[in-house]
Chains A and B, each alone.
Chain A
């Protein structure tokens, strides 16, 4: 089976190679007019400003955490217990290196995604001048850079570490590094993007009456940069994190199960390798047909990739000694992921009842709009939760029936779901690229025809985004279930009997504290948005007030100040949320003990998943209710219904793009921290 590790290495290198090839292919495309290039350069510079600050913050975090990890993991707890010196620096160093490698790989994937996105946006707008097909192909291939780089780097990192150490626990360090970056990238990106978006809209659209993407708005560049930092770097880091975490959880479960041979430890890597192959093939099938509809092209890509992957897993099971339960668990994960993704679309789609009803009642005011949207958001949890529950039960019992440990099967279903991330992230990263292309077309004064085409491309991007959100939340839910089981295994291995009975008040206290954390995290990130948006609103007003020539079109706004405000505000707002993710599980663990920490994780998983689904879907629903009214329904633009829907959309903005998507990362980080530090918690906790 070791041959699979080398195949994985080759596949990951090929994936990174294809990503690099596409990166340079995109850069070779015509960059468009001087004006378009100037506008694109503002966005590119803004993105670079943010990335520099983000990576500086990450470097500081990585050095501090790396040092702590190196010190803590240098102690050999077994030797200390037996009264010996018990210090093995090499263990600490290799864990710290794995941690930093995880952060570095995630950062490289994010950087590549951002770098190509800010090159592809202007080229997509230019290509749209020629044809929709050409623009679609360019933007999708640019999105593929992120998707392929992400899966390639993840598999490369995990495989190299396993080949060098043969220890799945070290990969836990790699995963923790990726998650730490994901938390900063996702939450920071979410705060950045909504700060800029809300501030730009409140002053630009509502106070002054200038349209979206109008170059007279001082926050327009920050808004466009935000699309990239939130949806390219942020979403990429989020899925990278889940992708690695699901694999490492299953590897740990495989290693701890006495009944399983070593091939089940590396099986997640094999599945990821097959997923890379399926994604590379699936990407070739994403083409806009004669009907010129980009949305179905993206969906077709996802479905065909899923089919390729399923066939590959079938072949693996038939041609090797791998238990057939792996196939069932994988199929369960795949089918559930696709179904949950598409059912999420039901609650946010303009031609379905939830959006229609929310739009219809908006004529009665913002309060009714918000109550209706929120209620449908709550209802949207139902199919996804049923899907997750069904996937959990099916993968568990189908695995048990075939002789595999059930909890291992749950982990495999998460890996199965995430194995096609190469394709999923490609489709997702396409969204902000075409969104930016539309913005550049507006700002550069390109032909109306270009704007119509980029609008069409953008609509497909929004659908892909909704599907990806449902997919990533469900995948994170299954991943943390596997991590939860892995945590229990690690604690048991440390000699502590795990008993998470709800009759134990310590466990109940842990459950409550865990359940409290996702809502608190959501509140902190959303308050950061309002706080930072308030500052930016003042800055935009100041510019309009002090420079009347901006609105008259005779004076250029100061875009850089708004970009700087958004970046600084986003990163400085991360201190408390980051503490919640890393510090709180450790506090609970060391003070209340491993059983309470188990309860803590369980509580956080349940409220985390529910809040993530609610926020993502309610936010998307309010957004599309507004868009539906803007198409001329229920009074159209400027009507009372429209004004109410604008309020709903603004409320939903930090729901769907800041707090909601960050919760996946939060629960993953907390589960990883708990698993990583479980042996130390077991040894030194007060209870």
Chain B
């Protein structure tokens, strides 16, 4: 049985596993007695990738089938500051797992989403998970966090998703909330208004935002990278998800 390397983003960890991605997603979300269920996001890593900071070979060597022949589900290789030690070129598919264990794989894309002028909302996933509003588009936001040496808040690597603001992106005061499920909407409106009127690029919306969030709120996709490169994983449209990935989409909307 082949051993896979998975980079879990929620929480951050590098895991060796003999399970295929869909099986791993199901196991990781619900197939453990430690926790009944929980959203998970992970990336498949090139199995040949090695890093001097991570004891990958040792982890793989310990990833052997159980005595009854069943595959080993997980061997944790690292649980902290993992993403920053992985080359973007080693990143494979991104897998989004629902609370009840249904897994959707999405490929990276060269096509960057259209960059619009409105306000933006970013859900940081790794290494920390605040909710941040910004005047910057995703690429500029990525650069600000990862590549801007003058910024007081700099990270060596980051994974984040841009979330939908819909009418609030252009009209924070009066825009319709529609199906945006964010808590404390009045505070969000205030933050967005501040961004329009004050000379700041980003503002914190929720510093203790929950790690899990509704996939349906993702505006365009997921951004993962470090100083040297960035990968973009576009989430298919809701219509496409409804048509082609109905079961996953239904679970994702619970």
Residue B80 CB within 8 A of the other chain: no
A464 CB → nearest B CB, Å: 26
Q: Interface extent on A, as a size class?
A: 20 to 34
Q: Which of B202-254 contact A (CB under 8 A)?
A: 214, 216, 242-243, 246-247, 250-251, 253-254
Chain B residues contacting A211 (CB-CB under 8 Å) are 100, 250-251, 253-254
Closest CB in chain A relative to B222 CB, distance in Å: 19
Chain A residues, CB < 8 A from B254: 205, 209-211, 637-638
Across-interface contacts of B180 in A (CB, < 8 A): 635-636, 639
**Known contacts A633-B178, A634-B177, A552 near B33 by CB under 8 Å:** no
A residues 611-637 touching B (CB-CB < 8 Å): 632-637
From A551, A632, A637, A642, B37 is in contact (CB under 8 Å) with A551
Check A558 for interface membership: any CB of B closer than 8 A: no
Cβ of A638 and Cβ of B30 under 8 Å apart?
no
Nearest residue in A to B98 (C-beta to C-beta)?
Answer: A209
8 Å CB contact of B179 from A363, A448, A636? A636
In the complex, chain A residues whose CB is within 8 Å of the CB of B27 = 552
Residues of chain A in range 432-453 having any CB-CB distance to chain B below 8 Å? 445, 448, 451
A637 to chain B: which residues have CB within 8 Å? 179, 181, 214, 216, 253-254
Check: B61 CB closer than 8 A to any chain A CB: no
Taken together as a complex, chains A and B put the C-alpha atoms of A208 and B100 apart, in Å, by 6
Contacts of A638 in B (CB 8 A): 181, 214, 253-254
Contact B251 A210 (CB under 8 A): yes
Give the residues in chain A near B200, CB-CB below 8 Å: none
- Interface 1/0s, chain A 474-485, versus B by CB < 8 A? 000000000000
Residue A383 CB within 8 A of the other chain: no
- Whether A548 and B99, one on each chain, are in contact in the complex, defined by CB atoms closer than 8 angstroms, is no
Per-position 1/0 for A490-507, Cβ under 8 A of B: 000000000000000000
In the complex the two chains form, is B36's CB within 8 Å of A448's CB? no
- In the complex, are the beta carbons of A551 and B181 less than 8 A apart? no
Smallest Cβ distance from B250 to chain A, in angstroms?
5
Q: Is the CB of B137 closer than 8 A to any CB of chain A? A: no
Whether B100 lies near A636 (C-beta < 8 A) is no
Bound-state Cα–Cα, A635 to B23, Å: 32
Query: Shortest Cβ distance from B164 into chain A, in angstroms?
Result: 11
| Minimal beta-carbon separation of A642 from chain B (angstroms) | 7
- CB-CB < 8 A to B113: which residues of A? none
In the complex, what distance in Å separates the CA atom of A445 from the CA atom of B99?
20
* Bound: A553/B99 CA distance, A: 14
B101 at the interface (CB under 8 A from A): yes
Neighbour of B30 across the interface among A205, A548, A636, CB < 8 A? A548
Chain B residues closer than 8 Å to A209, beta-carbon distance:
37, 98-100, 251, 254
B182 contacts the other chain (Cβ, under 8 Å)? yes
Question: A545: CB under 8 A from chain B?
Answer: yes
Considering only residues 397-447 of chain A, those with a C-beta below 8 Å from chain B are 445
- A208, A445, A635, A642: the one within 8 Å of B177 (CB): A635
Q: In the complex, are the beta carbons of B183 and A216 less than 8 A apart?
A: no
* Minimum distance in angstroms from A207 CB to a CB of chain B: 6
Question: B214–A548 contact, CB under 8 A?
Answer: no
B36 touches A208 (CB 8 A): yes
Q: How far is the CA of A153 from the CA of B31 in the complex (A)?
A: 53
Q: Does B57 contact A (CB under 8 A)?
A: no
Rounded to whole Å, the gap between the CB of B176 and the closest CB of chain A is 10
Contact between B183 and A207 (Cβ–Cβ < 8 Å)?
Answer: no
A208 with B33, Cβ < 8 A, contacts A637-B214, A640-B183 known = no
Determine if B37 and A635 form an interchain contact, defined as CB atoms under 8 angstroms apart.
Answer: no
Q: Map CB proximity to B onto A358-376 as digits: 1 under 8 Å, 0 otherwise.
A: 0000010000000000000
Is the CB–CB distance between A545 and B181 below 8 Å? Answer: no
In the complex, what distance in Å separates the CA atom of A210 from the CA atom of B101?
9
**Cross-chain contact of B178 among A207, A363, A636, A640 (Cβ < 8 A):** A636
- Of all chain A residues, the one with the shortest Cβ separation from B25 is A552
Check if B32 is an interface residue, CB within 8 A of chain A. yes
Residues of B contacting A590 in the complex (Cβ-Cβ under 8 angstroms): none
Alpha-carbon separation in the docked complex, A210 to B183 (Å) = 23
Write the chain A residue with the least CB distance to B33. Answer: A548
Q: B179, A635: Cβ atoms under 8 Å?
A: yes
List, in ascending order, chain B residues with CB within 8 A of A363's CB.
185
Q: Are A448 and B242 in contact (CB under 8 A)?
A: yes
Residue A544 is within 8 A (CB to CB) of chain B in the complex = yes
Which residue on A lies nearest to B31, using beta carbons?
A552
Chain B residues near A639 (CB-CB < 8 A): 179-183
A214 surroundings in chain B (CB, below 8 A)? 100
Across-interface contacts of A642 in B (CB, < 8 A)? 181
CB-CB under 8 A for A632 and B31, given A209-B37, A209-B99: no
25 pairs, CB–CB < 8 Å, chain A vs chain B: A208-B36, A208-B37, A208-B99, A210-B254, A211-B250, A445-B247, A548-B30, A549-B31, A551-B26, A551-B36, A552-B26, A552-B31, A553-B26, A632-B179, A634-B177, A635-B179, A635-B181, A636-B179, A637-B179, A637-B214, A637-B216, A638-B254, A639-B179, A639-B181, A639-B182
If A632-B178, A634-B177, A639-B180 are given as contacts, then 9 extra A-B residue pairs at C-beta distance below 8 Å, sorted by A number, are A207-B37, A216-B100, A445-B247, A552-B26, A552-B30, A633-B178, A635-B182, A637-B253, A639-B181
